[in-house]
Amino acid sequence: MVQRIDVECKNESYPIFIGELPQKLEFEGSVLVVTNSKVAGIHLRTLLQCIYAKECFVCVLEDGEEYKNIQSVQRILETAFIHKLDRQSTMIAFGGGVVGDIVGFAAGIFMRGISFVQIPTTLLAQVDASIGGKTAINNKFGKNLIGLFHQPKAVYVNPFFLGTLSHREKSSGIAEIIKMAVMFDKDFFEWLSMQNLQGSSLLEAIMRAILIKKEVVVKDELERGVRMALNYGHTFGHVIEKETQYKQYLHGEAVSMGMIMANRLAVQLGYLSVDEEFRIQKILEKNDLPIYYKIPSMESFYQSLFLDKKNENHQIRFILPHNIGRFIPCTHLSKAEIMRTLEEFCDD
Ligand code: GLY
> Which atom of ligand 1 is nearest the CA belonging to 223?
5
Contacts (Cβ under 8 Å, ≥6 apart) of 210: 5, 16, 18, 126, 127, 131, 157
CA dihedral 322, 172, 205, 226 (to 10 degrees): 40
Q: Assess whether pLDDT exceeds 70 at residue 36.
A: yes
> Which atom of ligand 1 is nearest the CA belonging to 176?
1
Which tens digits make up the pLDDT trace of 236-276? 999 999 999 999 999 999 999 999 999 999 999 999 999 99
Based on DSSP, count helices (H) and strands (E) in the chain, helices before strands.
12, 13
Q: Whose CA is nearest to atom 2 of ligand 1?
A: 230
- Measured in Å, residue 188 CA sits from the centre of ligand 1 at 19
Task: Tell me, using a 6 A CB cutoff, whether residue 221 lines ligand 1.
Answer: no
- Measured in Å, residue 299 CA sits from the centre of ligand 1 at 28
Task: Tell me, using a 6 A CB cutoff, whether residue 176 lines ligand 1.
Answer: no
Cβ atoms of 107 and 115 within 8 Å: the answer is yes
Kindly list the structural domains of the chain, giving each domain's residue range(s) and its CATH number in brackets, ordered by start: 3-164 (3.40.50.1970), 167-343 (1.20.1090.10)
Distance between CA atoms of residues 315 and 331, nearest Å: 6
Q: Tell me, what DSSP letter sits at residue 6?
A: E
Distance between CA atoms of residues 316 and 309, nearest Å: 9
Predicted structure pTM score: 0.94
Cβ atoms of 155 and 127 within 8 Å: the answer is no
- Measured in Å, residue 213 CA sits from the centre of ligand 1 at 8
Task: Tell me, using a 6 A CB cutoff, whether residue 230 lines ligand 1.
Answer: yes
Q: Assess whether pLDDT exceeds 70 at residue 37.
A: yes
Q: Assess whether pLDDT exceeds 80 at residue 348.
A: no
Query: From the CB of residue 321, how many other CB atoms can be counted at a distance below 10 Å?
Result: 27
- Name the residue among 273, 255, 256 with its Cα closest to residue 264: 273
Burial 198-237 (b: 16+ CB within 10 A, else e): eeeebeebbbbbbebbbebbbebbebeebbbbbbbbbbbb
- Measured in Å, residue 84 CA sits from the centre of ligand 1 at 32
Task: Tell me, using a 6 A CB cutoff, whether residue 132 lines ligand 1.
Answer: yes
